[in-house]
């Protein structure tokens, strides 16, 4: 059934997808333009997408993302605007370890996505073998490594600093963000400042130092890199949705958009079951869905966008949350620090573990009250999908056994567990991603009233998603006339 074209006289904007990208776009647009009707359509029963918090053993623990980048303004600003400023927190400990030869070794400091800037400190850390350390100064003598339009981080750093730096320092950090190995990740997309710096600077060690900037004065405290929310980052979309509803934005959950087409007078969105379909009309549409869903909706609209969206692959990951009784742990606690990252060569099923009750003071307090600790284990990456084919019980066992070995937990076994699967949860940022994302953006935005946001474009992190959402909201605000007509830029 086709719903009558809204004749309120107000332009209609529909946002497809109620993850942080869609909600942030709706939020910014609602603040920019009071004369526009905004509807957010979300396929699942709740908004938030990968921002989701729920309780395990009575304690709130994030099931997906758990922190935002605090070194750029967008996410922290949105947390304040959503009314959660008073609950903004920073990690109590942010020192992860690396698993080297099965042992936990504190991660050296001063890294630019794994590229060292303080060689003396790196040598003391014991992370690299003496052969790998001895190779590093070669970087100052080697001729420039050509990057062309783009190159993988792994290939570039491997050529300059050797394979061990890639395996033990770069890959674990990239894995934590992209769930992919360094040899698969675009340098231009993942470390744009370093990519730019090495265009004129032959040595990557020098380029990394330039990117990092001067070392802080002795005693000076660096501003926190990450922020979270007391009660979980999953509170952000819920608070935002509440504010949006109060501002008159319509949010419909359990509504999947199946088709998007040009109508005689704007856009038509097909929702609902085939036997009971509804057609909604819009003057402008924001696609705020993962790349495969955007690809499906862009079908027939733009060959360029369709082709390029199809090339953005995704990676599935799982987060296994484990709760242990303090009294079962050797020494009554987890090892010090915020958790650990695992180099690919270690061949372990868990690629990272966060000691959540150490990392977040609010979570630690809730755990202490109950005499427990909470750990989040991340499994699955682009080169390892088999592990996720196991059932939940097996994933819990694999995680608990791996943690018992790496964190030396003896015979301690979790008293509660939860498996959260994020099928296709992360877009892959392959070599050429920046140009690919630009082509998609350009092709979609050439269609009057269409724009796309989301993790597949300018960065997978929440802050990058919000930055893109802000940009798209501004674009709509500038180009959507008060009679619903679209002004080309
Ligand atoms: C396990 C995990 C941990 C992470 N940790 C962090 C972290 O700590 N910090 C950080 O900055 N980033 C983190 N990220 C990345 C970040 O969370 C995501 O990239 C970001 O949340 C993506 O937001 P989004 O709105 O673009 O997409 P999504 O969150 O995927 O939202 C898209 C929404 O669109 C809906 N949808 C899809 N198709 C349709 C349709 N046809 N019709 C209607 N609705 C539809 C979906 O149901 C979903 O709700 C993590 C990601 C994962 C998977």
Q: Which atom of ligand 1 is nearest to the CA of 420?
A: 1
The answer, yes or no, to whether any atom of ligand 1 lies below 6 A from the CB of 364, is no
The answer, yes or no, to whether any atom of ligand 1 lies below 6 A from the CB of 269, is no
3-state secondary structure the chain: CECCCCCCCCCEEEEECCEHHHHHHHHHHHHHCCCCEEEEECCCCCCECCCCEEEECCEEEECCCCCEECCCHHHHHHHHHCCCHHHEECCCCCCEEEEECCEEEECCCCEECCEECCHHHHHHHCCCCHHHHHHHHHHHCCCCCCCCCCCEHHHHHHHHHCHHHHHHHHHHHHHHHHCCCHHHCEHHHHCHHHHHHHHHCCCHHHHHHHHHCCCCCCCCCCCCCEEEECCCCCHHHHHHHHHHHHCCCEEECCCCEEEEEEECCEEEEEECCHHHCEEEEECEEEECCCHHHHHHHHCCCCHHHHHHHHCCCEEEEEEEEEEEEHHHCHHHCCCCCCEEECCHHHCCCEEEEECHHHHCHHHHHHHHHHCEEEEEEEECECCECHHHHCCHHHHHHHHHHHHHHHCCCCCCCCCEEEEEEEEEEEECCCCCHHHHHHHHHHHHHCCCCEEECCCCCCCCCHHHHHHHHHHHHHHHHHHECCCCCECCC
Task: Give pLDDT, residue 3.
Answer: 52
Please name each of the domains of the chain with its CATH number.
12-50+234-312+430-479 (3.50.50.60), 53-94+314-427 (3.90.660.20), 106-212 (1.10.3110.10)
451 C-alpha to ligand 1 centroid (Å): 17
**Residue whose CA is closest, atom 48 of ligand 1?**
49
Task: Give pLDDT, residue 5.
Answer: 53
The answer, yes or no, to whether any atom of ligand 1 lies below 6 A from the CB of 459, is no
Pocket test for ligand 1, best of 39, 64, 354 (most atoms within 8 A of CB): 64
317 C-alpha to ligand 1 centroid (Å): 12
Task: Give pLDDT, residue 346.
Answer: 96
50 C-alpha to ligand 1 centroid (Å): 4
382 C-alpha to ligand 1 centroid (Å): 17
The answer, yes or no, to whether any atom of ligand 1 lies below 6 A from the CB of 29, is no
Q: pLDDT digit string (tens) for 217-268?
A: 777 777 889 999 999 999 999 999 999 999 999 999 999 999 999 998 899 9
Pocket test for ligand 1, best of 455, 459, 470 (most atoms within 8 A of CB): 455
347 C-alpha to ligand 1 centroid (Å): 28
The answer, yes or no, to whether any atom of ligand 1 lies below 6 A from the CB of 51, is yes
Task: Give pLDDT, residue 275.
Answer: 85
The answer, yes or no, to whether any atom of ligand 1 lies below 6 A from the CB of 318, is no
Task: Give pLDDT, residue 222.
Answer: 75
The answer, yes or no, to whether any atom of ligand 1 lies below 6 A from the CB of 75, is no
Task: Give pLDDT, residue 157.
Answer: 98
- Could you report the average pLDDT of every consecutive run of 10 residues in the chain (489 residues)? 58 98 98 96 98 97 97 97 98 92 95 94 96 97 96 98 98 94 97 97 97 81 89 98 98 97 94 89 98 97 97 97 97 95 95 97 98 97 88 98 96 97 97 98 96 98 98 96 83
């Amino acid at each position: 059934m086709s719903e009558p074209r809204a004749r309120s006289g107000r332009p209609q904007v529909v946002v497809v997808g109620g993850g942080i990208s869609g909600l942030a776009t709706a939020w910014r647009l609602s603040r920019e333009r009071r004369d526009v009707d905004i509807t957010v359509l979300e396929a699942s029963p709740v908004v938030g997408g990968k921002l989701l918090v729920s309780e395990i053993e009575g304690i709130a623990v994030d099931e997906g993302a758990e922190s935002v980048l605090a070194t750029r303004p967008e996410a922290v600003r949105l947390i304040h605007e959503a009314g959660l400023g008073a609950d903004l927190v920073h990690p109590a400990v942010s020192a992860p370890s690396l698993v080297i030869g099965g042992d936990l070794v504190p991660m050296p400091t001063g890294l630019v996505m794994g590229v060292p800037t303080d060689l003396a400190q790196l040598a003391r850390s014991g992370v690299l073998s003496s052969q790998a350390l001895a190779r590093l100064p070669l970087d100052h003598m080697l001729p420039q490594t050509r990057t062309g339009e783009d190159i993988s981080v792994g290939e570039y750093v491997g050529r300059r600093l050797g394979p061990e730096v890639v395996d033990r320092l770069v890959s674990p950090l990239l894995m934590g963000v992209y769930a992919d190995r360094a040899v698969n990740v675009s340098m231009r997309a993942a470390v744009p400042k370093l990519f730019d710096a090495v265009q004129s600077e032959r040595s990557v060690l020098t380029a990394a130092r330039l990117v990092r900037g001067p070392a802080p004065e002795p005693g000076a405290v660096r501003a926190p890199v990450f922020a979270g929310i007391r009660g979980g980052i999953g509170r952000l979309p819920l608070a935002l949705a509440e504010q949006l509803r109060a501002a008159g934005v319509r949010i419909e959950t359990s509504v999947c958009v199946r088709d998007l087409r040009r109508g005689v007078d704007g856009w038509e969105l097909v929702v609902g079951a085939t036997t009971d379909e509804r057609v909604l009309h819009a003057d402008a549409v924001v696609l705020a869905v993962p790349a495969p869903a955007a690809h499906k909706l862009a079908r027939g609209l733009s060959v360029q966008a369709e082709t390029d969206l199809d090339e953005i692959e995704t990676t599935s990951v799982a987060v296994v949350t484990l709760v242990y009784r303090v009294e079962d742990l050797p020494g009554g606690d987890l090892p010090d620090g915020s958790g650990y990252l695992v180099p690919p060569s270690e061949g372990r099923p868990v690629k990272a573990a966060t000691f959540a009750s150490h990392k977040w003071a609010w979570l630690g307090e809730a755990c202490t009250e109950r005499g427990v600790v909470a750990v989040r284990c991340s499994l699955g990456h682009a080169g390892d999908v088999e592990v996720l084919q196991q059932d939940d019980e097996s994933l819990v066992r694999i995680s608990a056994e791996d943690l018992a070995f790496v964190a030396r937990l003896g015979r301690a076994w979790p008293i509660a567990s939860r498996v959260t699967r994020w099928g296709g949860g992360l877009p892959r940022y392959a070599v050429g991603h920046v140009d690919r994302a630009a082509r998609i953006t350009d092709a979609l935005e050439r269609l009057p009233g269409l724009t796309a946001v989301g993790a597949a474009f300018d960065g997978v992190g929440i802050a990058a998603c919000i930055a893109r959402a802000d940009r798209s909201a501004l674009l709509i605000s500038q180009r959507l006339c008060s009679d619903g007509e679209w002004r080309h830029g």
